[in-house]
Chains A and B, each alone.
Chain A
Amino acid sequence: MWFKLPKNKSIRKTILNVVAVYLTTTILLLLTITIYYTQNQKNQIFHIYQKQIDLQADFLVEQFELLHDNILKEDAFYPRFNNIQSGIYDLDKQLIFKTFTQKVKFSHNKYILQDKFYYFFYKLEPYYLGAAYLVIQVPKSMIFNQYYTKIILIVLLIILLLVLTSFFIAKILIKPLSDNLIELDKFIKDTTHELNTPLSTILTNIEMLESSDLDQSYRTKINRVKLGAISISKIYEDLSFLLLYNKQKSNSIKLDLSSIVYDRIEYFTTLASSKNITFDTDIEDNVSITMDKVKLERVLDNLLSNSIKYSELNSIVYIKLTQTYFMIEDYGSGMTADELKDIFTRYKRFHKNIGGFGIGYSIIASILQEYNISIDIQSQKNVGTKVYLKW
């Protein structure tokens, strides 16, 4: 359909914002015009209705005359109607007969509004059945309901048309931006995909070189290449998770968390040793968890990578795993309370001199939310950060 919203969240949000602003202003304008128009029309409608009531009164008077003429022969059966009620009063405004139950206060005006009813007064002469005054009672709702229903229907129809046209306009306006974003998205996806093969080749060859007999100076150089490759690999994993894997259905299975934690620590050992950081671990054996393995690794990799990134040189990263929680603690730059509030915001980076896209915690949060795992981050600026995952 032509008004179907795009899948891209930011375009979707922009379209909805444009539509919301457009609709709010237009509907406010429409309502103002409607209220003004309704007020004007209300008086006209009342006058038209009043003429109908006048005709009804004339008809009633004719009936009274007939009844009065026949009263010598038979009792007078007072005329009754479904939509309106009426009553007759003598010259001293004493009740003769009425078909409504409410008590009416006489007025010098042609009509009054009293307790949701309009009362129309007519002075009669001659006094058929003794009636010097005829009072016709009409519910207020009866006069205006039909009119209001019509107005409401028209307004709703206009609003519906506005909603449809606003989506159409928003889509036309957003189209160039939307096309660019789609292109950019496609480019990042393709680039990420193309990174996979060379990166795997680099890492495989480094492992092969490490196992071969090399002198120390070459080994150091190879180690530096490996560090760079691990960093790129981490970025690749995060990007491919966000762009590709995140959109797939999770494959949750029972995993040996203890051994996966060990694996990931080993993977990051080279990176940690480049800053002379040592891992102090207290890992309980046979801790299991039901999760998607790729997602679990993204959580652990991001936590480990962050701890290494923000730790002081020559420090310790403490890791603890029990049956109910995982904890990782580093000693380094830490974060302020304000920074902590924004930690899960995507692309938010607190240290511009340290690499990364600021997507790590955003990925962690989305995965933990899916598996109902709580996260507690305690951090102190220039002291360090402690992260708890509890399930």
Chain B
Amino acid sequence: MVKIWILLIVYIGAYANVFETNCSKCHTQYEYKLFMSKYTLKYSSKNKIKQAIFDFLKAPTSHQSIMPYEFIKHSGFKNKTILDDKNLHKAIDIYYDKYNLKNFIR
């Protein structure tokens, strides 16, 4: 039983790290909420939002960016992700679960 718990904690820790280690270095909480707000307004559903984020991170262009030109001009433009597809999906899942707007509707 103890082994199972240890494995679970290690797994969750590793899983969470994909998002924290790769994304939180550059982005703040406010930015996370802002991005999610923009993605939700444009894509509405969970699958479409995740796909849009995935597509952008794989090949970021100003055309594909959810943020306005002024924001990109001010904050700079993101490089292409170094994560493989599997880890990128994991990171996006964590991001969505944590910041999707449903969590903030009362």
Contacts and interface: CB of A to CB of B under 8 A. Distances in A.
B103 to A, nearest CB: 9
Interface string A58-74: 00000000011001100
Interface residues of B, number: 19
Interface stretch (A86-94, A110-118, A180-188, A206-214): A86-94
B3 interface: no
Contacts of A67: 105
A129 B42 contact: no
Interface in B41-80: 41-48
Interface string A103-147: 000000000000000000000001111111000000000000000
Contacts of A126: 41-42
Given A76-B101, A90-B46, A92-B46, A128 B106 contact: no
Contacts of A132: 44-45
Nearest to A77: B106
A94 B46 contact: yes
A93 B58 CA distance: 28
Interface in B26-49: 30, 33-34, 37, 40-48
B40 to A, nearest CB: 4
Interface string A337-356: 00000000000000000000
B30 A131 contact: no
B44 A127 contact: yes
A356 to B, nearest CB: 95
Interface in A75-102: 75-78, 90-92, 94, 96-97
Contacts of B5: none
Contact of A76 (B34, B45, B105): B105
A64 to B, nearest CB: 10
Contacts of A131: 44
A78 B106 contact: yes
A71 B37 contact: yes
Given A71-B33, A91-B48, 16 more contacts: A67-B105, A68-B37, A68-B40, A68-B41, A68-B101, A72-B34, A75-B106, A76-B101, A76-B105, A90-B45, A90-B46, A94-B45, A97-B102, A97-B105, A129-B40, A130-B41
Contacts of B47: 92
Given A90-B46, A127-B42, A130-B44, A75 B105 contact: yes
Contacts of A68: 37, 40-41, 101
A129 B45 contact: no
Interface in A257-280: none
10 contacts: A68-B37, A68-B101, A72-B33, A76-B101, A78-B105, A91-B43, A92-B47, A127-B44, A129-B101, A130-B102
Contacts of A129: 40, 101, 105
Interface string B69-106: 00000000000000000000000000000001110111
Contacts of A71: 33, 37, 101, 104
Contact of A128 (B41, B46, B102): B41
